[in-house]
Amino acid sequence: MLVTGASGFLGRAVATELVASGHEVRTLQRRPSGVAGATDVLGTVTDAGAVARAVDGVEGVVHLAAKVSLAGDPAEFRAVNVEGTRTLLDAARDAGATRFVQVSSPSVAHAGSALVGVGAEPASPEHARGDYARTKAEAELLALSRDAASFAVVAIRPHLVWGPGDAQLTERIVDRARRGRLPLLNGGTALIDSTYVDNAATGIAAALRRAETAHGRAFVLTSGEPRPVGDLMAGICIAAGVTPPRWSIPAGLGRAAGSLVERVWAVRPGVDEPPMTRFLAEQLSTAHWFDQRPIREALDWTPSVTLDEGLRRLAAAYVR
């Protein structure tokens, strides 16, 4: 099995899960994955030669490699997320792979309004917010358009993956809270789903296992325990020993600030992610939780780690 992007937080967890399940695992990414028992191929999905070496002889592919950011060059998002996916799809099929899991994002179907108890709505590049979401929507549609005759493709959209070792969502929440730069929007009352990393890894592994019967379908994957966004951020902060955010601003002000930051960032980008964008403000102030019955039934999978247990594991990791 091949896992792309295995040096990243979720990719490493998926590769580790597949190794633990007895699979022979190969990985493709720019730097060593650090996954014990896996064989690394160093390169990118935009390099056809590296992709050809990586897919040679593999039965299945889990594709996580992507340009993930709230800002950046639109051409770079397209080169990696769309054309890189196209290169990998073509190479995998030509090499004889029979299963392909496209790891996507719920943002491919998010147009700014609340998502309450819905399933995997159709990916929409026209309505998705930002270059990342737009190009991931295109990539998902490209992957799911493949013929099922001998190449089964499933799209999995993990939502807000977090846990020990996460340098993206978890560490950014903790760092900004520590510096007093993490506001709540509308009091942090929006109900949202999230996904503990172990649940995301086992769900994606289940998609690889059940690809033939689930071909052509997209699923949102979460831990299935919606909570107010303020409660989730507080839990993560407390686990890290940091005071949770307590100050709140109106959502409209957050969106306005996000639009202003985006314009400034386009001219003078900073070294890290922008502190606020319109998309981020929408995510922090609108409900987005999802019906988990479709994925659990189709993949014969249920999450094994509760949100509270995940927070306990996170706290233990910060103590070490």
Per-residue pLDDT at 38 = 96
- Order of strands, edge to edge, in the sheet holding 60-63? 38-42, 25-29, 2-4, 60-63, 99-103, 152-158, 218-221
In a domain, residue 178? The reply is: no
The reported pTM is: 0.92
- Residues with a known catalytic role: 132
Distance CA 25, CA 292 (A): 28
pLDDT confidence of 279, banded at 50, 70, 90? low
Per-residue pLDDT at 23 = 96
Expressed as residue numbers, the domain containing 77 is 2-162+194-222+290-304
Angle subtended at Cα 24 by Cα 94 and Cα 65, rounded to the nearest 5 degrees: 60
Looking up tokens 């403000």, which residue turns up? Answer: 281
Per-residue pLDDT at 128 = 83
What are the DSSP calls for 256-296, one per residue?
HHHHHHHHHHHHS--SS--S--HHHHHHHHS-EEE--HHHH
Strands, E assignment, 56-160: 60-63, 99-103, 115-118, 152-158
- Give the count of domains, the chain: 1
Q: What is the pLDDT of residues 296-320, one digit of tens each?
A: 999 999 999 999 999 999 999 998 6
In a domain, residue 185? The reply is: no
Looking at the chain, the whole-number percentage of residues with pLDDT higher than 90 is 68
In a domain, residue 28? The reply is: yes
Please provide residue 176's backbone torsions phi and psi, each rounded to the nearest 5 degrees: -70, -35
Looking up tokens 């846990």, which residue turns up? Answer: 163
H helices of the chain, in order, are 9-20, 48-55, 74-77, 84-94, 130-144, 169-178, 197-209, 211-214, 229-239, 251-267, 278-285, 293-299, 307-319
Q: What is the CATH number of the domain that holds 31?
A: 3.40.50.720
Task: Please check whether residue 203 is in contact with residue 224, taking contact to mean a CB–CB distance below 8 angstroms.
Answer: no
Q: What is the pLDDT of residues 76-135, one digit of tens each?
A: 999 999 999 999 999 999 999 999 999 999 999 887 678 889 888 999 889 887 888 999
Q: How many CB atoms lie within 10 A of CB 136?
A: 30
Distance CA 34, CA 126 (A): 38
- Look at residue 66 and tell me whether its pLDDT is greater than 70: yes
In a domain, residue 187? The reply is: no
Q: Where does residue 31 rank: exposed (0-12), middle (13-18), buried (19+ CB within 10 A)?
A: exposed
Task: Please check whether residue 140 is in contact with residue 200, taking contact to mean a CB–CB distance below 8 angstroms.
Answer: no
Per-residue pLDDT at 194 = 95
In a domain, residue 141? The reply is: yes
Q: How many CB atoms lie within 10 A of CB 232?
A: 23
Task: Please check whether residue 17 is in contact with residue 200, taking contact to mean a CB–CB distance below 8 angstroms.
Answer: no
In a domain, residue 177? The reply is: no
Q: What is the pLDDT of residues 145-182, one digit of tens each?
A: 987 678 999 999 999 999 999 988 899 899 989 988 88
Between the CA of residue 261 and those of 247, 258, 266, 280, 284, what are the distances in Å? 20, 5, 8, 11, 16
In a domain, residue 89? The reply is: yes
In a domain, residue 235? The reply is: no
Distance CA 150, CA 275 (A): 45
